[in-house]
Amino acid sequence: MRKKRVGIFGGTFNPVHLGHVRAAAAVQKRFSLDRVLFIPSHIPPHKEMEEIVSPRDRMRMVELALRGRRHLVPCPIEIRARGTSYSILTLNKVKKIYPHARIFFILGVDAFLDIETWKEWERVLEQCLFIVMTRPGYRLGEAKGVLKRSFQDEMLEVPRSVRIHERLFSTFRIFLVPIDALDISATDIRKRARCGESLKGWVPPSVEKYIREHTFYEKRRSKNKDAHGH
Q: Which residues form the interface with ligand ATP (CB under 6 A)? A: 11-14, 19-20, 23, 107-108, 110-111, 133, 135, 181-182, 184-187
User: What separation in angstroms does the CA of 206 have from each of 58, 60, 160, 213?
Assistant: 13, 10, 32, 11
Nearer to ligand ATP (CB atom), residue 30 or residue 135? 135
Residue whose Cβ sits closest to ligand ATP: 108
Show the beta-strand stretches assigned E in 97-191. Answer: 102-108, 129-133, 155-157, 174-177
Q: How far is 15 from 115, CA to CA, in rounded Å?
A: 22
* Minimum separation from the CB atom of position 133 to ligand ATP (A): 5
Nearer to ligand ATP (CB atom), residue 114 or residue 126? 114
* Minimum separation from the CB atom of position 229 to ligand ATP (A): 22
Nearer to ligand ATP (CB atom), residue 11 or residue 150? 11
Nearer to ligand ATP (CB atom), residue 81 or residue 111? 111
* Residues facing residue 200 across a β-bridge: 203
Nearer to ligand ATP (CB atom), residue 49 or residue 97? 49
* Minimum separation from the CB atom of position 202 to ligand ATP (A): 10
* Minimum separation from the CB atom of position 3 to ligand ATP (A): 24
* Minimum separation from the CB atom of position 167 to ligand ATP (A): 27
**What is the SS3 string spanning 13-52?**
CCCCCHHHHHHHHHHHHHCCCCEEEEEECCECCCCCCCCC
Q: How far is 113 from 205, CA to CA, in rounded Å?
A: 32
